[in-house]
Structure 1
Amino acid sequence: MAGYRWVRPEVYPLFAAVGVAVGICGFQLVRNICINPEVRVTKQNRAAGVLENFTEGEKYAEHGLRKFVRNKKPEIMPSINSFFADPQNN
């Protein structure tokens, strides 16, 4: 029983995938609690009711990553895609 492994090496990729998923969920949770204009944690902010803060909402929705990928093609490897999709250009 001394040489028994509690965790087998085959499950490391599963741990990594679950860890990344939990990290993304945690990041989104913290982002929503901290900077989402529709989430109000304190009692004073909740008493304010519905606010018409369109500029703050737009600032939250139009974050840097969305601005970066807005005009990009939805391709992971554009050079390989164009090589196989357009053979006359090669």
Structure 2
Amino acid sequence: MASSSTLKRWLRPEVYPLFAAVGVAVGICGMQLVRNICTNPEVRVTKENRAAGVLDNFAEGEKYAEHALRKFVRNRSPEIMPSINNFFTDPKY
């Protein structure tokens, strides 16, 4: 009986955006967790890698830090809608 009223309370169309937002946030956290475990040069999961100790491998660290998203946004304007911003701030329009 209690589970039926709980389903009726939370599975309404008004709650779908909340589920979507939480799902996206959990997905981003999961993606970052997998990225850190798999590609971070300071994280060593296997016993052989942990036995190696501290390595000064700067090239691997640079490769990890300069990922594809950072390279994509490096030379772009830090604006979400540059054309609208230029329309309202540039006096020549």
TM-score past 0.5 threshold: yes
Q: 1:80 aligns with which of 55, 59, 84?
A: 84
Q: 2:18 aligns with which of 8, 14, 18?
A: 14
Q: When the two structures are aligned, how many residues end up with a matched partner? A: 87
* Superposition pairs of residues 28-39 of structure 1, within 5 angstroms: 28-39=32-43
Aligned-partner Cα distance in 1 for 2:53–2:92: 59
Structure 1 unaligned segments of length 5 or more: list them. none
Whose helix fraction is larger, Structure 1's or Structure 2's? 2
Structure 2 unaligned segments of length 5 or more: list them. none
Moved over 6 A (4+): none
Aligned-partner Cα distance in 1 for 2:16–2:31: 22
Identity of aligned residues (%): 80
Q: Deviations over 1:25-80 (max 9, x none)?
A: 00000011111100000111111110000000000000111011111111000000
RMSD: 1.5
Q: TM-score, normalised by structure 2?
A: 0.88
